[in-house]
A and B are shown apart, each in its own frame.
Chain A
Amino acid sequence: MEQARSGIGVSRSVKPTLETLAEKYFESMDAAFMACVTLAIAKELPIVATGPVERTWHAGGRRQELLDFIAWHLSAADPVQMMEQLGHAGLLYAKDHLEKNSPFEAIFAP
């Protein structure tokens, strides 16, 4: 059985979006990424392949809470991968809004 990955990565294509979000609306990139994950769940955004990712965080710390939530809420067999895919989807969504200079709430409000 393939061992679940312990690192969480972000694809290059959305990395600048993540950086912009972190700069404009968050204090850290992992918070921005996790917000994009919940955004994707909330909006039920389509899951797409992330493409090559750069390992950015390990799957621990405060990210573990979200991984547990994903595992429980989405019954995900690979919460890390799921988290990457959800984050990617959320970042793509945010990218469109950032290009339109949308405010924080326009992107993330429930």
Chain B
Amino acid sequence: MKIRSIQLTNWGPFEGVHSIHLDVSAGSPVVVVHGENGRGKTSTMRSLFWCLYGTVRDGYGYKVPTHELVNNQCCNDGQSSEFGVQLIVEFDAKDYEISRTGKVRQMPDALNVESEELSFRPVGEHPYSESKSIDMINLMLEEAIADFYLFDGEKLASVEKKLNKNDSDGQQFVQRSVERALGLSFADRLMSDIESVSSGFSDAISGQAKLLDDSEKLVLKKQGIEADIENLASDKRKLVEMRASIERARGDIANKLQDFDLIRDRLVERQLLEADVLSDSKKLDEKREELRHEADSSWYWPISKKLDAITLDLEESYDKSKKIDESNSKTLAQLHLLESNLSSHSCSLCGAEVDESSKKGIESRIKDLHRQIGDQDFEDPIVFADQLRKLSGYREKSKRFPVLEELVKSIANSDLELLTKKSRILELGEQIGSVGNPDILMLENDKDKLTTRISESERLEEQVDAKISTERSSLKAIQLKIQESPDLDPVERKKLEISDALDQILRESYDEFRENMRLQVEAASSNILLQLSSEVEYQKVSISPKYQVAMLDTSHQVLPSPSSGYSQILALAFIGGLADVAGSDNFVVMDTPWGRVDRGNRKLIMKWIRERSNQTIIFVQSGELTPSEAREHFGNKMGRQLSIVRQGPNSSKIEEI
């Protein structure tokens, strides 16, 4: 592929329409485009990308927005204008016109791209459809490898950086580049096709293959389950052992606690009794205090029985004498009445005269009454009353004796109870003996913990049992399936084996192809390195199986940390190697490729360019190469020299030198 011309319309610094003629003969394939910074060298190279693929990426792979590529003076505010790039290229001895155009409108802040259109046609013929156009462009120069042919200083720097990175990013970049150069995408598609064929073949015998596969899977699954069951059984055994150990420990503690149970009961009883004794003693003290109070006014108490008897006697005597006294009083009254009647000879009640017969009767009665009074053992009740009065102090105090007696009885009972309790405390103390106060609480706590652990262990065992049961069910089901699986036909088995072998061969071939690609790029890069390097030590580019790129010396040892200039040369050799391996007779466009390369190596690069037979377009600035130097270096290989010159502010034009 060769570029005959580029026509830029309102592109980059090129306002209006600018044509660049790049057509060169096979004998003079070099085109040098001179231009100072900002004149439009990079814009021109980017125009090729944009025209072919519709996108432009910077050296770091970021997409450059189209409106930034368009000439920003092409239209006034609010107006629209056309922009675009037209290429005339030669491919397979035929000229084609590739044109990508669009319209932009100047908005207050920036240009707004309103439309874009691709046109591809053989010169003088009708345009192709868009899809065919894209196919044709990729046939001429696949987008994936375009940056091997169109690269600038930034791209070189980016490649250089990645080659210097000895990490997985750098290795992946190298691997992808190598695979792109050799069209691995095609190989991938081929591999995919092979797999489809293989899969189709497998499908054809899929029934048998599936049976075999299923059967093998079942056997594997069965083995897996058997292993799982064995592991679970092992876990179960460990759990049982652990539980037995815990149960033993718990048993020991339980025995200890059993021993302590009796003592614990005694300790508890003693503790309760001690509390009781304390409380009872307090109550007893209170009762004693009460008794002291009662006793203080009850000094008659010792003699109370005697005094009670005396009192009773006195009361009885008093009652008796009082009755006699009353009776005597009546008798005396009667006597007095009779004596009065006798002396007055008349009845004091009725006034009747007392005759002789009555007189005798009265006298007889008076005698009887005197005899009646005289016969009685009479003592004046006043005497008894006086004695009772002398006992009144006692009688008053004796009213409190029941309280005192109740207290005495209660104290005696309490004393007895207290004594019993104290005696029991002593007895318990002897029984508890030297055991002291064992930390029963701690032991019980330990026992509870162990019981919890046993429960946990039992729960885990149950879970393991459940799992084993489930696994055994699965195993049974699989065993049944395996038993029910029909035997594989020997012929079909053979076919499957052949299919597998074929698949294996194809995969190995694919890997071999990939390996060859690496070696081819390595050889091509080494070849270019030899042409570009002025140092004899730099003999070879090495691309390791892990896609690490390095320069080797004459004894094939890796040269550590090449200089900045040689890093750039290595990147150039790698890109050149990729371009060479990618094949075809494509053009190469290089934008300021010299960078940090010294004059010696720069000459070697130019020598390498001179020896190329394909169209090579180099964009340079005066610091890199002057027109006269270019003529001197490229001599008759120089096909054209162009210069991008300043036409006005932000405006350039291209002139032929």
Residues of A whose CB lies within 8 Å of any CB of B are: 24-28, 31, 34-35, 37-39, 41-43, 65-66, 68-69, 72-73, 90, 103-105, 108-110
In the complex, what distance in Å separates the CA atom of A105 from the CA atom of B413?
12
Question: Is B305's CB within 8 Å of the partner chain A?
Answer: yes
**Majority SS of interface residues in chain B?**
helix
Is B296 touching A28 in the complex (CB atoms < 8 A)?
Answer: yes
Is B408 touching A105 in the complex (CB atoms < 8 A)?
Answer: yes
A interface footprint on B294-318 (CB within 8 Å = 1, 0 otherwise): 0111111111111000100000000
CB contact under 8 A between A69 and B394, given known A103-B415, A104-B291: yes
Is A43 touching B302 in the complex (CB atoms < 8 A)?
Answer: yes
CB contact under 8 A between A25 and B301, given known A65-B393, A103-B412: no
CB contact under 8 A between A108 and B301, given known A25-B291, A69-B393, A103-B411: yes
In the complex, what distance in Å separates the CA atom of A108 from the CA atom of B292?
13
Which residues of chain A are within 8 angstroms of B411 by Cβ–Cβ distance?
103-104
Shortest CB distance B138–A (Å): 129
In the complex, what distance in Å separates the CA atom of A68 from the CA atom of B412?
34
In the complex, what distance in Å separates the CA atom of A25 from the CA atom of B394?
20
Task: Name B305's closest neighbour in chain A (CB-CB).
Answer: A110
Which residues of chain A are within 8 angstroms of B310 by Cβ–Cβ distance?
73
Is B302 touching A26 in the complex (CB atoms < 8 A)?
Answer: no
Is A26 touching B295 in the complex (CB atoms < 8 A)?
Answer: yes
In the complex, what distance in Å separates the CA atom of A108 from the CA atom of B291?
12
Question: Is B63's CB within 8 Å of the partner chain A?
Answer: no
Is A109 touching B292 in the complex (CB atoms < 8 A)?
Answer: no
Residues of B whose CB lies within 8 Å of any CB of A are: 291-293, 295-306, 310, 387, 390-391, 393-394, 408, 411-412, 415
CB contact under 8 A between A38 and B387, given known A25-B292, A26-B295: no
In the complex, what distance in Å separates the CA atom of A42 from the CA atom of B310?
12
Some 10 contacts from A to B, beta carbons below 8 A apart, are: A31-B296, A35-B302, A38-B300, A38-B303, A39-B303, A42-B306, A108-B301, A109-B301, A110-B303, A110-B305
Which residues of chain B are within 8 angstroms of A37 by Cβ–Cβ distance?
299
In the complex, what distance in Å separates the CA atom of A13 from the CA atom of B312?
38
Contact of A68 among B298, B390, B408 (CB under 8 A): B390
Which residues of chain B are within 8 angstroms of A34 by Cβ–Cβ distance?
299
Is A31 touching B301 in the complex (CB atoms < 8 A)?
Answer: no
Shortest CB distance A41–B (Å): 5
Task: Name A31's closest neighbour in chain B (CB-CB).
Answer: B296
Task: Name B397's closest neighbour in chain A (CB-CB).
Answer: A65
Is B292 touching A110 in the complex (CB atoms < 8 A)?
Answer: no
- Taking A35-B302, A39-B303 as known contacts, 19 extra A-B pairs with beta carbons closer than 8 A to each other, sorted by chain A number, are A34-B299, A35-B298, A37-B299, A38-B299, A38-B301, A38-B303, A41-B303, A43-B302, A66-B299, A68-B393, A69-B391, A69-B394, A103-B411, A105-B412, A108-B295, A108-B301, A109-B302, A110-B301, A110-B305
Task: Name A90's closest neighbour in chain B (CB-CB).
Answer: B302
Which residues of chain A are within 8 angstroms of B304 by Cβ–Cβ distance?
110
Is B301 touching A35 in the complex (CB atoms < 8 A)?
Answer: yes
Contact of B387 among A31, A72, A105 (CB under 8 A): A72
Which residues of chain B are within 8 angstroms of A42 by Cβ–Cβ distance?
302-303, 305-306
CB contact under 8 A between A26 and B303, given known A105-B412, A109-B408: no
CB contact under 8 A between A108 and B412, given known A26-B296, A27-B292, A72-B390: no
Most chain A C-beta atoms within 10 Å of own C-beta, residue among B293, B296, B390, B393:
B296
What are the nearest 8 A-B pairs in CB distance? A34-B299, A39-B302, A42-B303, A27-B296, A38-B303, A35-B299, A31-B296, A110-B305
Is A27 touching B303 in the complex (CB atoms < 8 A)?
Answer: no
**Majority SS of interface residues in chain A?**
helix
Which residues of chain A are within 8 angstroms of B293 by Cβ–Cβ distance?
27
Task: Name B391's closest neighbour in chain A (CB-CB).
Answer: A69
Which residues of chain A are within 8 angstroms of B291 by Cβ–Cβ distance?
25, 104
Is B297 touching A31 in the complex (CB atoms < 8 A)?
Answer: yes
Which residues of chain A are within 8 angstroms of B299 by Cβ–Cβ distance?
31, 34-35, 37-38, 66
Which residues of chain A are within 8 angstroms of B387 by Cβ–Cβ distance?
72
Task: Name A108's closest neighbour in chain B (CB-CB).
Answer: B302
In the complex, what distance in Å separates the CA atom of A34 from the CA atom of B415?
26
Which residues of chain A are within 8 angstroms of B292 by Cβ–Cβ distance?
24-27
Shortest CB distance A108–B (Å): 5
In the complex, what distance in Å separates the CA atom of A65 from the CA atom of B303?
15
Shortest CB distance B295–A (Å): 5
Which residues of chain A are within 8 angstroms of B306 by Cβ–Cβ distance?
41-42, 110
Is B300 touching A104 in the complex (CB atoms < 8 A)?
Answer: no
In the complex, what distance in Å separates the CA atom of A78 from the CA atom of B15?
163
In the complex, what distance in Å separates the CA atom of A19 from the CA atom of B629?
146
Shortest CB distance A98–B (Å): 15
In the complex, what distance in Å separates the CA atom of A109 from the CA atom of B408?
9
In the complex, what distance in Å separates the CA atom of A37 from the CA atom of B310?
18
In the complex, what distance in Å separates the CA atom of A38 from the CA atom of B31?
158
In the complex, what distance in Å separates the CA atom of A39 from the CA atom of B304?
10
Which residues of chain B are within 8 angstroms of A105 by Cβ–Cβ distance?
408, 412
Is B297 touching A69 in the complex (CB atoms < 8 A)?
Answer: no
Task: Name A71's closest neighbour in chain B (CB-CB).
Answer: B390
In the complex, what distance in Å separates the CA atom of A39 from the CA atom of B299?
8
Is B393 touching A110 in the complex (CB atoms < 8 A)?
Answer: no
Task: Name A105's closest neighbour in chain B (CB-CB).
Answer: B408
Which residues of chain A are within 8 angstroms of B300 by Cβ–Cβ distance?
38
Which residues of chain B are within 8 angstroms of A31 by Cβ–Cβ distance?
295-297, 299
Which residues of chain A are within 8 angstroms of B295 by Cβ–Cβ distance?
25-27, 31, 35, 104, 108
In the complex, what distance in Å separates the CA atom of A35 from the CA atom of B292?
12
Which residues of chain B are within 8 angstroms of A103 by Cβ–Cβ distance?
408, 411-412, 415
Task: Name A37's closest neighbour in chain B (CB-CB).
Answer: B299
In the complex, what distance in Å separates the CA atom of A34 from the CA atom of B299?
6
Shortest CB distance B187–A (Å): 122
Is B296 touching A110 in the complex (CB atoms < 8 A)?
Answer: no
Which residues of chain A are within 8 angstroms of B393 by Cβ–Cβ distance?
65, 68-69
Shortest CB distance A83–B (Å): 11
Task: Name B292's closest neighbour in chain A (CB-CB).
Answer: A27
In the complex, what distance in Å separates the CA atom of A68 from the CA atom of B302?
17
Which residues of chain A are within 8 angstroms of B302 by Cβ–Cβ distance?
35, 38-39, 41-43, 90, 108-110
In the complex, what distance in Å separates the CA atom of A38 from the CA atom of B300?
6
Which residues of chain B are within 8 angstroms of A25 by Cβ–Cβ distance?
291-292, 295
Shortest CB distance B202–A (Å): 115
Shortest CB distance A106–B (Å): 9
Shortest CB distance B576–A (Å): 129
In the complex, what distance in Å separates the CA atom of A90 from the CA atom of B293?
20
Which residues of chain A are within 8 angstroms of B412 by Cβ–Cβ distance?
103, 105
Which residues of chain A are within 8 angstroms of B390 by Cβ–Cβ distance?
68-69, 72
In the complex, what distance in Å separates the CA atom of A42 from the CA atom of B307?
9
Task: Name B387's closest neighbour in chain A (CB-CB).
Answer: A72
Which residues of chain B are within 8 angstroms of A38 by Cβ–Cβ distance?
299-303
In the complex, what distance in Å separates the CA atom of A82 from the CA atom of B327?
42
Shortest CB distance A86–B (Å): 10
Shortest CB distance A54–B (Å): 20
In the complex, what distance in Å separates the CA atom of A69 from the CA atom of B303?
12
